[in-house]
Structure 1
Amino acid sequence: MTEKTFVEEIEKALEKSKGLNIKELLFSYQGTFYPATVCSAETFQALENFEARKDDLVLVSYPKCGMNWLIQIASDLIATTLNTKQENKELPFIECGDPEKYQRMKQFPSPRIVATHLHYNNLPKSILKNKAKVLVLFRNPKDVASSFFHFHNNSPNIPSYNSWEEFFSEFMSGKVAWGSYFDHAVVWNKHIDDENILILTYEELKEDLAAGVKRIAEFFGFAATAEQVQSIANRASFQAVRDKSQETHGAVGPLLFRKGVVGDWKSLFSEAQSQKVDAKFKECLVGTKLEAKLKYDVYCKA
């Protein structure tokens, strides 16, 4: 399956979303909401038997934290250092697609990119058992909420929310696709020092992409030269990725790579909403290593 087929898979999912409202888009599995257009109970059941490999590149993030950007960097690292191109054979998220996809994935050459938005507790057990390395990308919650809302409301096919206020209320109570940002953060924070886990932030990649690429390469054991790191960073700059997004991701590309800025939340949040997130963040993460990594006071205070 080529890049073209990957784009077709995305477009098929978008087609399924046409005409649905938000309530019809989401279905609940074991207490968490997921989009019914790309996820199913059958796929989740099959996923429990997914066999991870030790050399899989497991990439995790909550939605709208920069995952598609991270996939691009990881693919480029494989192509540049191992001289082998990762074929886009499936929707990149392991929880998305039909239950037979895990059989097909057995045929993929190593190293495979295994991407997911799943909570730590919902990962297939074999990822931890087989000691695959897991890179988790976080982003400040206010920009995540803002980006998530725009993703729903700017796409002609994806069901929209009636208003920002409606979306904000659902986001805060975890009634959005893939559940609560805060639950996701609390659990990953507990594993921040596990030996096969590395947590990076969207903001630090924005601040110094070459340094981020170097850390990713070292974590996954790629022998990338300084020149290779720099050229990967150049190709992964937001503008470069956005310019090619139609080609790599089809019609949804420009929506996935919309603005890529830090602080965009300020154009949507009311003072009261901002304080609500501050209080929730404090309740969940105050004094934690993840709070320090996210530099909450730098990025989330108006």
Structure 2
Amino acid sequence: MTMNRKRIEILDKMSADADKLAPEDKLFTYKGILYPLAICKLENFQALETFDARTDDVILAGYPKTGTNWLETMLRDLEFRAGKYTEEEYKRRMAIEEELAVPPRLEFGDLDAIKRMTKLPSRRIIVTHLPPLLLPKSIFKNKAKILALTRNPKDTMVSYFHFSNNFSAFPNATWDAYFRDFMNGKVCWGSYFDHVSEWDKYIDDENVMGICYEELKEHPNLGLQKIAKFFGFSVNEEEIKSVVENCSFKAMKQKSTETHGAFGDALFRKGSVGDWKSLFSESQNQEMDRRFKECLAKSKLGAKMKYEVYCKS
């Protein structure tokens, strides 16, 4: 499964547009949250209010750098196998996606992106970094199923820091400055803690399933079995095994230029658990531990992260 050529062109254009912006012009604010101007447009957020979700849409929602690219690839592979398409049907679907050039995230892209999405064949796989309050109301009204992805805050922060400094759409920052901004929610897509807390309010909804990055890394086959059951993907154990092998981080990193163009280098760095230890100071560790305990330790999504296992020295 590869990303189509026009999507790579969209990503390349985002990078080119970002290179033209002065550091002070790279970000804008929508409803109190920062977004990168080269990637998101105010008009697109307004257009989302009239977006018409379908009951069979597959929605993947995760804060930036929590593994959405990895899980999206697995979802697409699962849908492909479950669809049991003939070669002709598959070529036709890919030709439609290629022609429409839909951006890789719901909130990305040009003014016509939302309009073009209405022409995509079912089942649509829609990925977003948005919290529930900013998603189109039709997603909940039409009972589309949502997979809420989380990742422990320390690894999320470190991954987001490197990504921001390697992609010109974001202003560069030192680690200490970025740590402070992240803790205060002054990064693109806003507060990590608010994002997870908001999704936790929906986690008992029958149309919402929570899963964490660490769980998928530790037990990928079991995780994909749960996901396939939730979305009603009809796949067997051998097919799930093949998805896991085809979509390993190593395999995706090796194919990143083919699937994501030059953007791939920024997206696929390590994909590991525990990389936070390379940057966190002892005082930063303690501050994050206090914040997690205060904001997320008692939540269901927080419990799934196994913070005591993955976030302690």
TM-score interval w.r.t. the shorter chain?
over 0.9
What secondary structure, in the 3-state scheme, does the structure 2 residue paired with 1:94 have?
A: coil
Pick from 232, 255, 264 the counterpart of residue 221 of structure 1: 232
Tell me the equivalent position of 2:13.
Answer: 12
One-letter identity of the residue aligned with 1:220: F
Q: Does residue 198 in structure 1 map to residue 209 in structure 2?
A: yes
Tell me the equivalent position of 1:169.
Answer: 180
One-letter identity of the residue aligned with 2:294: E
- Does the CA-based 8 Å contact 1:19-1:159 persist in structure 2? no
Alpha-carbon distance between aligned partners in 2 of 1:102 and 1:58, rounded to the nearest angstrom: 15
One-letter identity of the residue aligned with 1:135: L
CA RMSD of aligned residues (A): 1.4
Alpha-carbon distance between aligned partners in 1 of 2:146 and 2:73, rounded to the nearest angstrom: 16
In 2 relative to 1, CA 19–266 (structure 1 residues): closer, same or farther, beyond 3 Å?
Answer: farther
Tell me the equivalent position of 1:98.
Answer: 110
Q: Does residue 136 in structure 1 map to residue 136 in structure 2?
A: no
Alpha-carbon distance between aligned partners in 1 of 2:297 and 2:212, rounded to the nearest angstrom: 17
**Deviation for aligned residue 1:21:** 5.0
In 2 relative to 1, CA 106–19 (structure 1 residues): closer, same or farther, beyond 3 Å?
Answer: closer
Tell me the equivalent position of 1:292.
Answer: 303
The TM-score normalised by the length of structure 2 is 0.92
Q: Does residue 40 in structure 1 map to residue 52 in structure 2?
A: no
Tell me the equivalent position of 1:28.
Answer: 29
What secondary structure, in the 3-state scheme, does the structure 1 residue paired with 2:273 have?
A: coil
In 2 relative to 1, CA 260–106 (structure 1 residues): closer, same or farther, beyond 3 Å?
Answer: same
- For structure 2, which runs of at least 5 residues remain unmatched after alignment? none
Pick from 125, 137, 143 the counterpart of residue 137 of structure 2: 125
Tell me the equivalent position of 1:261.
Answer: 272
- Does the CA-based 8 Å contact 1:47-1:99 persist in structure 2? no
- Does the CA-based 8 Å contact 1:21-1:159 persist in structure 2? no
Pick from 188, 197, 200 the counterpart of residue 189 of structure 1: 200
**Deviation for aligned residue 1:265:** 0.5
- Does the CA-based 8 Å contact 1:56-1:110 persist in structure 2? yes
**Deviation for aligned residue 1:20:** 3.6
**Deviation for aligned residue 1:159:** 3.9
What secondary structure, in the 3-state scheme, does the structure 1 residue paired with 2:255 have?
A: helix
Alpha-carbon displacement from aligned partner over 1:231-254 (angstroms, at most 9, x marks no partner): 011101111111111111111112
Q: Does residue 149 in structure 1 map to residue 161 in structure 2?
A: yes
What secondary structure, in the 3-state scheme, does the structure 1 residue paired with 2:227 have?
A: helix
One-letter identity of the residue aligned with 2:102: E
- Does the CA-based 8 Å contact 2:155-2:276 persist in structure 1? yes
Q: Does residue 107 in structure 1 map to residue 108 in structure 2?
A: no
Aligned length: 300
Alpha-carbon distance between aligned partners in 1 of 2:23 and 2:185, rounded to the nearest angstrom: 14
Percent identity, aligned pairs only, is 49
What secondary structure, in the 3-state scheme, does the structure 1 residue paired with 2:61 have?
A: strand
Alpha-carbon distance between aligned partners in 2 of 1:174 and 1:22, rounded to the nearest angstrom: 19
The TM-score normalised by the length of structure 1 is 0.96
Pick from 238, 241, 244 the counterpart of residue 230 of structure 1: 241
Alpha-carbon distance between aligned partners in 2 of 1:234 and 1:10, rounded to the nearest angstrom: 26
One-letter identity of the residue aligned with 2:184: S
One-letter identity of the residue aligned with 1:130: N
- Does the CA-based 8 Å contact 1:20-1:159 persist in structure 2? no
Alpha-carbon distance between aligned partners in 1 of 2:48 and 2:302, rounded to the nearest angstrom: 31
